[in-house]
Amino acid sequence: MNFLISEVLNLAPGESCSGDTGSKLEILRNEKIDKPIIFIGAGTCGLGAGADKILEVTRAYLSEKNIDTEIIETGCVGLCSSEPLMDVQLPGKNRISFEKVTSDLAEEILSAVFSGNPIPENNVLGQYSAGGNEEWDGIGYIAEHPFFKPQKRLVLKNCGIRNPISIEEYIAAGGYRSYLKGLRSYSPGDICDKVEKSGLRGRGGGGFSTGRKWKFAFNVESDQKYLVCNADEGDPGAFMDRAIIEGDPHRLIEGMAIAAYAIGATKSYVYIRAEYPLALKRLEIALEQAREYGLLGKNIFDSGVDFEIKVKMGAGAFVCGEETALIHSIEGKRGMPRPRPPFPATEGLFGKPTIINNVETLANIPSIIEKGEEWFASIGTETSKGTKVFALSGKISLTGLVEIPMGTTVREVIYDIAGGIRGGKKFKAVQIGGPSGGCITEQNLDIPIDYDSLIEVGAMMGSGGMVVMDEDTCMVDVAKFFMDFIQRESCGKCIPCREGTRRMLEILEDITHKPVNGSSHHALRRFKGVTQLEKLGKVIKETSLCGLGQTAPNPVLSTLKWFRDEYEEHIFERECRAGVCTELRTFTIDVDKCTGCTVCAKKCPTGAIIGARKTPHFIVDDNCISCGTCVQVCKFDAITVN
Amino acid sequence: MNDTTEQILVKYKNADRDSLIPILQEIQEVEGWLSEKMLTSVGRHLDMPVSKVYGVATFYNQFRFQPKGRFHIQVCRGTACHVLGSATVLEEIKKHLKIDVDETTKDGLFSLEIVACIGTCGLAPVININGNFHARVTTDSLRDIIESYRVQNNN
């Protein structure tokens, strides 16, 4: 610990170390080791896929054989569909990674490592190269793996590779030097300038220039300023913030410390979702380590700067991702937004100037200070600099987190990195930006990913969730799903959002349900509703108070723009081509197969099935609500679904 | 007066309103839910009208006003889970346990909750029972999962 504080942290960012200290650092970075190390991917996704069992097996094996070796629980490397992952590193050899590890395979790997059996050849993901170790013959490098090759990992650099709760390892790999360099060599104003010149824009959704935002707070005189890290990642379909905190919490702490110094904040909060218990735990451990090293607290490294980070747990309200709502929530109030101005940068938490940044934004800061703003600005496109982490999920071959330079096309992400659509199905659309975003269709797949191009096609960067949909997904159902989410999460303060989103949901429900009575009045209402969808959406967008309402109609408007034919099918033909909207189904009874057992008639909740005992039954379509109970109870396969 | 609530409140001596949510979270963590009595003592402790305390508590999805079952099932209703069939999973659980969302079974064994997104979209659809994640759930595997908890209770 001492030599890290007295020597290593005094080095300039990126400077290497030789001699005695250098070799100590190589050991800390696990480059030169004298006994094998087992790495197990134990992020939430890894544990969900069964990493806890692998950990159990490994611990049992080691204690049974009385072997003293280290098991490192890492965060998520990003390839969720290959979890659980288990890596082993033997002295003098490269680290080798196994995917989809089962208990049996884990034992096989362990016995290979400790009893000298040959290393299993199945389920090998690849090898890492580091520190001039000997390579494995015939095993590909992870860096060359199609999922990883096109990526540029700045924020996710350590995730899944290094021990997230070892500050020693983080420092040995060059961590916290950017912070100390900032404290010693730059004034707060310099740092704001650097970040502004780097072109970094907020990664939480809006995409506002981070440096410019900092300057607002920097220029305000106040006895107390606050920094808040928004880790209330509520977008369904996005999980990069969780992965960053679980996999590399020290990077976030370093980014926060630099940001706080730049704006002159001495106190800060991390507002983190309660649904992320593991991230919370690792963050608390990391904060404690940083305090021990004197990187947080009073008079940090004799610079006269004080800085402290507190953790606040969110309580499950999507609207708290909005800045002013988040502030209210920290203050112990209902998380409702308020009109701006005054902006939080001048009047925020407890009435003091407050800067709120997203986790990914803050995690980018250390590299900008380390490698310079020109270097950062050289990555990406004209208006969007750096990289962006995307969470890939849905009907795609490989799911997980990818970090790509801005300007990569959507097609490259889906086909080159993630291996295309699962099960050879046909691509339909990719939904970007969660409940605030929109869809990208086949014809727009070649647009470069940056803030502005996405807005041009009616989508949005959002926090970076990408949910891929194939021909079996119904777009009307997807729109309904988002609308249902938004109207539940609307805080209820302003009328357009509270009432408008509910009306939009009702209209969508009308067209995806079969009306109980097929009266012409009902049909008229259905048609009228649809013509109002667009108008209603426009009003909600223009008149809502906060970002939630202003973007709420986007999923509907975007699907309506690209998939109008599907909407029309639902309305006019009463058909769902993907077969998702089950309530539009119609049922018929095959008179040859029906034995007249009366089971379906008894079970039908609306009494829509009639017929005498031992004679074929019939369904009265007008009374049928398409619940499908009859199909489930029929023992003779006599009922067909259309 | 409830002892555990009192014990928690003692820790928050001289606390201000910004401690309200952490206090409620801590009480719920121990008790599993928030009763009227608990909310009243929190209000008294913070010198706040109980109506305000209740207003905050009901705003956030996390807080429950009904006791939790021994096994608390959270069904993820995020986008990725939805696209891969979490609605069917939810229906199946409701049917199997004969309870609705935010309800507890009569024997007090299972309670059901919807969460917006657990953040494990790569393994969708996901359910979480008492902190244990079950990935790529299907209607078939679901019954086995739930029954395995029932067995665990009987042992």
Clarify whether residues A135 and A57 are in a common domain: yes
Distance between A226 CA and the closest CA of chain B, angstroms: 15
- Which residue type sits at A74? T
Smallest CA-to-CA distance from A465 within A526, A522, A567, A392 is with A392
Which residues of chain A are within 8 Å of residue B115 when distances are taken between CB atoms? 275, 316
In this structure, the answer to whether residues A559 and A451 fall within a common structural domain is: no
Q: To the nearest whole angstrom, how far is the Cα of B107 from the nearest Cα of chain A?
A: 26
Q: Are the beta carbons of B93 and B150 closer than 8 angstroms?
A: no
Task: Suggest the residue from A55, A232, A333 to mutate for an interface test with chain B (most B CBs closer than 10 A).
Answer: A333
Q: Which of A224-228, A463-467, A468-472, A524-528 has the highest mean pLDDT?
A: A224-228
Range of the structural domain that residue A419 is part of: 387-473
Q: Within this chain, do residues A332 and A447 fall inside the same structural domain, yes or no?
A: no
Indicate whether A253 and A298 sit together in one domain. Answer: yes
What is the C-alpha separation between B134 and A321, in angstroms, rounded? Answer: 27
A10 within domain boundaries: no
Q: Please report whether residue A278 resides in a domain.
A: yes
Q: How far apart are CA A429 and CA A419, in angstroms?
A: 15
Cα dihedral: A479, A561, A233, B65 (round 10)? -30
Given an 8 Å threshold on Cβ–Cβ distance, is A394 in contact with B83?
yes
- Number of A/B CB contacts below 8 angstroms equals 144
Best mutation target, B16, B17, B20, B21, to test chain A (most A CBs within 10 A): B21
Helices B20-31, B3-11: inter-axial angle, 10-degree rounding: 150
Which of B21, B115, B134 has its CB closest to that of A315? B21
In a domain, A21, yes or no: no
| Tokens standing for residue A148 | 């990883």
Helix, strand, coil % (nearest 5) of chain B? Answer: 50, 10, 35
Q: How far apart are CA B119 and CA A591, in angstroms?
A: 49
Number of domains in chain A: 5
Q: For chain B, say whether A80 makes contact (Cβ under 8 Å).
A: yes
B-interface mutation test, from A82, A334, A483, most B Cβ less than 10 A away? A334
In tens, the pLDDT along A398-426 reads 999 999 999 999 999 999 999 999 988 99
Whether residues A431 and A499 share a domain: the answer is: no
The CATH number of the domain holding residue A608 is 3.30.70.20
Q: How many CB atoms lie within 10 A of CB A32?
A: 17
Asked whether the beta carbons of residue A331 and residue B18 sit closer than 8 angstroms, the reply is yes
Distance of CA A64 to the CA centre of its chain: 39
Q: Measure A297 CA to nearest chain B CA, in Å.
A: 22
Q: pLDDT, tens digit, for every residue of A231-283?
A: 998 888 899 999 999 999 999 999 999 999 999 999 999 999 988 999 999 99
Spans of all domains in chain B: 3-59, 71-154
CATH placement of domain B71-154: 3.40.30.10
Q: Which residue has the tokens 């988040």?
A: A326
Q: Which residues of B touch A236 (CB under 8 A)?
A: 77-82, 116-117
Q: Does A389 touch chain B (CB under 8 A)?
A: no
The DSSP 8-state label assigned to residue A307 in this structure reads B
Instruction: State which H helix or E strand residue A74 sits in.
Output: strand A70-74
Q: Is there a single domain that holds both residue A512 and residue A620?
A: no
Co-location of A370 and A455 in the same domain: no
Q: How far is A375 from chain B (nearest CA, A)?
A: 32
Which pLDDT belongs to residue A517?
Answer: 61
Q: What is the rounded CA–CA span in Å between residue A244 and residue A21? A: 29
Residue of A nearest to B86 (CA): A481
Query: Would you tell me how many other CB atoms lie within 10 Å of the CB of residue A127?
Result: 22
Assess whether pLDDT exceeds 70 at residue B1.
no
Contact B122 A400 (CB under 8 A): yes
The verdict on ipTM greater than 0.85 is: yes
Mean pLDDT of chain B: 90
Q: Contacts of residue B18 in chain A, CB cutoff 8 Å? A: 330-332
Which stretch of DSSP H or E encloses residue A240?
A: helix A240-247
Angstrom distance (rounded) from CA A218 to CA A225: 9
The CATH architecture to which B3-59 belongs is Orthogonal Bundle (1.10)
- Which alpha helices (H) appear in A273-312, and where do they start and end? 277-292
Question: Which CATH number goes with the domain that contains A178?
Answer: 3.40.50.11540
Within this chain, do residues A50 and A123 fall inside the same structural domain, yes or no?
yes
pLDDT score, position A518: 61
Quick one: average pLDDT of B121-134? 87
Considering only CA atoms, which of A341, A344, A324 is closest in space to residue A333? A324
